[in-house]
Structure 1
Amino acid sequence: MNISSIVVKTLPKYLEQVVEDLKNCKVCDYHMHDEEGRIIITIEGSNVNEELEKLRVIEAIKYVASADMQMAYSEDELDANIDVLNNADAVPSMLNEENVDPSKIIYNGDLKKKDLYGFSKHLENKK
């Protein structure tokens, strides 16, 4: 399941009509709007293609100037990332090696994503 938030823009003089058309189009859920013509909606789909089809319906509504995805949630993508996190070592393997010189380790905020050993070798070669 994918869920995306969309900001729809229209001219203020067409705001009420566009809001009503969005509420009646059956491809999105209306949430709110402001007096400047910005409307917040969400769409859901079983995949990205289904969401894009719904986005095209919204873009085709009369007086819609633009409809841009702002935030997206993909259940499959989340599950895949959770699997990666759950299967990752809590401590990078090079930190458990006895012959590693701690002064050569550079911390950049996330040790799991860094190739610390390769980077340390690179530093040694620069001397």
Structure 2
Amino acid sequence: MQALQEDFNVSSLVVLCAQKDIESLWGKINAIKGAECHYKDESGKIIVTLESQSIEEEIKLLKQIERLKGVLSAQMIYAYHSTELETLREEIQKQDRIPKVLRDEQTSANEITYSGDVQGALDEILKIQ
């Protein structure tokens, strides 16, 4: 990814394409300045992040990806401004939400019992105060 000034936007996209187009699109998207592919699967999904200096530039990057041959759709999932990201980082660092059992390397995965609400826990951790 490009090195950006202090004030910037970060967003994530899910790009859908035919399975036969995944490799080609992976290369084309990564060649776009400000775009980076992170994950792909056999169903035709590519997870991409965009970094830009403004919302206008962010939308231009999204439209550029949408126009690539083979892209069926490109949907923005999350968008953050650098100040929002910093606030989230600070909130996450303040919290010790990882249970001791998950930090203990001696504990086997078979010994861990889940009985919670993942979405609720994430919402609580990421909530901006």
Q: TM-score, normalised by structure 2?
A: 0.56
Q: Superposition pairs for residues 11-90 of structure 1, below 5 Å? A: 11-76=18-83
Does the 8 Å contact 2:34/2:52 carry over to 1? no
SS of equivalent to 2:21: helix
1 CA distance for matches of 2:20 and 2:69?
Answer: 13
> What amino acid is aligned across from residue 21 of structure 1 in structure 2?
K
CA distance in 1, matches of 2:50, 2:25: 16
Post-superposition offset of 1:61:
0.8
Question: Letter of the aligned partner of 1:15 in structure 2?
Answer: I
Gaps of at least 5 residues in structure 1 are 81-127
Q: What percent identity do the matched residue pairs reach?
A: 38
User: CA offsets, 1:17-64, max 9 Å, x none?
Assistant: 111111222340111111100000100111111100111111111100
Report the TM-score when normalising by structure 1: 0.57
Q: Structure 1 segments of 4 or more deviating over 2 A?
A: 75-80
Partner amino acid, structure 2, of 1:74 = H
- Which structure 2 residues correspond to residues 109-124 of structure 1 after superposition, within 5 A? none
CA RMSD of aligned residues (A): 2.1
The structure where helix makes up a greater share of residues is 1
Residues paired across the two proteins, number: 81
Q: Which amino acid aligns with 1:19?
A: W
